């Protein structure tokens, strides 16, 4: 019996003879030979001529495994010739972005997970564009916040205030929030900050971002309700859940005379706007109150791109919700 030196590999057929199976075979051959895949799509090799000739044992096993994984039916025949030097020309490869499978760069879809590369790239590009728009929207919102911070600081510099005017709200204030005006009323104190209106009623603190204020009614029909009290009412875009568990469509206070002199400041800040759609950057938001698992949530929807946002009443942010 002759001593075996090398192996020939013959292709007998495909487990899946459809165009998809032919495509997988052509892709495997492109990777193994470095020749364009369309050569193998057009001309299927005859079963009596080896597609690989005189391969050394290691190379023959690797090639047989690769073809087998691609659904190619093969036969490996030993021959008594020394292995030929295999001219390996590795085709340019790519790594699947979804499953990390390495495969020919010419592939249209992944051999392992089946994603279509162009479609996946378009989806990723759209996601990146959306993420970039969100980032830009957040940057704009933060810039407005900086402007409000500057305005609040300027107000403090230009108006004399008591040293401890915001002491009663100390634990409620968040980082980088500047309180600049306190109003006193029969219902409890009100604090205007660079982000929101804070109020304390019966020792319960409530937070109202300026964006949630739809209208400011300073006095209504009868501005002066008594010799020393003036009525202030703010009306919300949508009912706000209070810490007491109630939903409030508005809040009203009877201000003392000194606080009533700040009417223009209340108007100015009551209509301040900062919320921006995190998907398209527009400001046309429609507000609503949703009940989620027994809890009321403040939300808004962009009227341009229909992206929903959840509103954080304390941080005063409109946060885009993931698509359901």
Sheet of 6-14: strand order equals: 52-55, 6-14, 72-79
Q: How many domains does the chain have?
A: 2
Higher confidence at residue 235 or residue 282? 235
> At a CB cut-off of 8 Å and minimum separation 6, what does 63 contact?
9, 32, 52, 55
Whether 25 maps to a domain, the answer reads yes
Whether 1 maps to a domain, the answer reads no
For residue 214, the model assigns a pLDDT of 93
Distances (CA, A) of 180 to 167, 198, 262: 12, 12, 12
Whether 224 maps to a domain, the answer reads yes
CATH of the domain at 197: 2.30.29.30
Q: For residues 161 and 294, state if they share a domain.
A: yes
Whether 31 maps to a domain, the answer reads yes
Q: For residues 81 and 168, state if they share a domain.
A: no
Q: For residues 98 and 141, state if they share a domain.
A: no
Q: For residues 111 and 167, state if they share a domain.
A: no
Please state the φ and ψ torsions of residue 108, each to the nearest 5 degrees: -90, -35
- pLDDT tens digits along 141-153: 778 888 899 999 9
For residue 208, the model assigns a pLDDT of 93
Q: For residues 218 and 268, state if they share a domain.
A: yes
Q: For residues 196 and 101, state if they share a domain.
A: no
Q: For residues 132 and 262, state if they share a domain.
A: yes
Q: For residues 110 and 138, state if they share a domain.
A: no
- pLDDT tens digits along 182-229: 999 989 999 999 999 999 988 899 999 999 999 998 875 444 445 556
For residue 228, the model assigns a pLDDT of 55
Q: For residues 96 and 67, state if they share a domain.
A: yes
CATH of the domain at 46: 3.30.1390.10
Whether 120 maps to a domain, the answer reads no
Please state the φ and ψ torsions of residue 199, each to the nearest 5 degrees: -135, 150
pLDDT at 237 over 90: yes
Q: What is the dihedral of CA 79, 83, 89, 94, to 10 degrees?
A: 70
| Per-residue DSSP letter, 222 | -
For residue 200, the model assigns a pLDDT of 92
Whether 122 maps to a domain, the answer reads no
Find which of 36-50, 107-121, 230-244 is predicted with most confidence, using mean pLDDT.
230-244
Supply the range of the domain harboring residue 158: 127-320
Whether 121 maps to a domain, the answer reads no
Q: For residues 310 and 287, state if they share a domain.
A: yes
- Tell me the torsion sign for CA atoms 176, 200, 257, 273: positive
Mean pLDDT of 315-319: 84
């Amino acid at each position: 019996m002759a001593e075996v030196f090398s192996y020939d590999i013959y292709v007998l057929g495909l487990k899946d003879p459809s165009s998809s199976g032919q495509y997988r075979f052509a892709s495997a051959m492109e990777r193994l030979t470095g020749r364009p895949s369309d050569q193998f799509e057009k001309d299927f090799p005859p079963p009596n001529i080896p597609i690989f000739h005189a391969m050394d044992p290691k190379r023959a096993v690797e090639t047989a495994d690769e073809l087998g994984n691609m659904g190619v039916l093969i036969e490996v025949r030993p021959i008594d010739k020394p292995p030929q030097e295999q001219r390996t020309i590795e085709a340019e490869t790519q790594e699947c972005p979804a499953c990390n499978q390495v495969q020919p760069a010419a592939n249209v879809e992944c051999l392992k997970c089946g994603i279509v590369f162009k479609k996946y790239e378009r989806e990723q590009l759209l996601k990146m564009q959306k993420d970039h728009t969100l980032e830009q929207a957040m940057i704009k919102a933060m810039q407005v916040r900086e402007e409000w911070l500057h305005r609040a600081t300027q107000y403090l510099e230009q108006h004399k205030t008591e040293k401890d005017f915001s002491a009663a709200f100390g634990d409620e204030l968040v980082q980088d929030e500047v309180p600049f005006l306190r109003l006193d009323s029969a219902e409890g104190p009100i604090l205007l900050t660079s982000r929101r209106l804070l109020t304390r009623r019966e020792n319960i603190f409530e937070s109202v971002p300026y964006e949630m204020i739809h209208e400011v009614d300073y006095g209504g029909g009868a501005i002066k309700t008594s010799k020393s009290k003036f009525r202030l009412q703010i009306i919300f875009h949508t009912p706000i859940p209070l810490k007491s568990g109630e939903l409030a469509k508005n809040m009203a206070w009877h201000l003392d005379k000194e606080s009533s002199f700040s009417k223009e400041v209340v108007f100015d800040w009551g209509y301040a706007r900062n919320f921006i759609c995190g998907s398209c950057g527009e400001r046309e938001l429609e507000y609503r109150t949703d009940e989620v698992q027994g809890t009321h949530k403040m939300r808004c929807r962009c009227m341009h791109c229909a992206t929903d946002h959840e509103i954080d009443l304390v941080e005063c942010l409109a946060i885009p919700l993931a698509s359901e």
